Homo-oligomer: A and B are copies of this chain.
Amino acid sequence: MHSKFGFLSYEISHIIRQRFNKAAEPTGFTHAQWRALVHLSENQNCRQIDLAEILEIKPITLVKQIDLLEEAGLVRRNKDSEDRRAYRLELLPKAHAVMQQLWEIADAVEAQVLKALAVEEQHTLNALLERIKTDINAKSSSEELLGSMVPP
């Protein structure tokens, strides 16, 4: 029998995104922007390219999300004083209020989705997923390393 981890993880995360987007609709923010906000708050004043790497999306994909967050007054692009090509992303005060609201939605959606599991099982699940994620990241950076050692 084949494993269905791929389908399962996709289906569950799809449900989470759908429910989040629906519940967050009045705020005007989507799950993708929410993800950017959370990672930005954990890496304040980073450059766009850094945040893109953290989010594992291409810089051009992030540009549009930042545009939206900037229009909404949650984020400001500050010129990097040391590199005139780059911007530093600043999380504005308004962002914290919005994020509090979005965390409530995110937590509620997640609790609903995970309610079939005991708290201990939820920890196990998260720990297993964290290990998968860490391993993937480690592998891709060792590949990058390998790539840089074998120039074209």
Partner-B contacts on A (CB < 8 A): 2-17, 20, 31, 35, 38, 56, 103, 106-107, 109-110, 113-117, 121-122, 124-126, 128-136
Contacts and interface: CB of A to CB of B under 8 A. Distances in A.
Number of copies: 2
Nearest to A56: B11
A134 B106 contact: no
A131 B116 contact: yes
B129 A12 contact: yes
A107 B135 CA distance: 18
Contacts of A117: 128, 131-132
B126 A128 contact: no
A20 B6 contact: yes
30 contacts: A2-B106, A2-B107, A3-B110, A3-B114, A3-B122, A6-B16, A6-B17, A6-B20, A6-B106, A6-B110, A8-B130, A8-B133, A9-B9, A9-B12, A9-B16, A9-B129, A10-B13, A11-B133, A12-B136, A13-B13, A15-B56, A113-B132, A114-B132, A116-B131, A116-B134, A117-B131, A124-B128, A125-B125, A125-B128, A125-B129
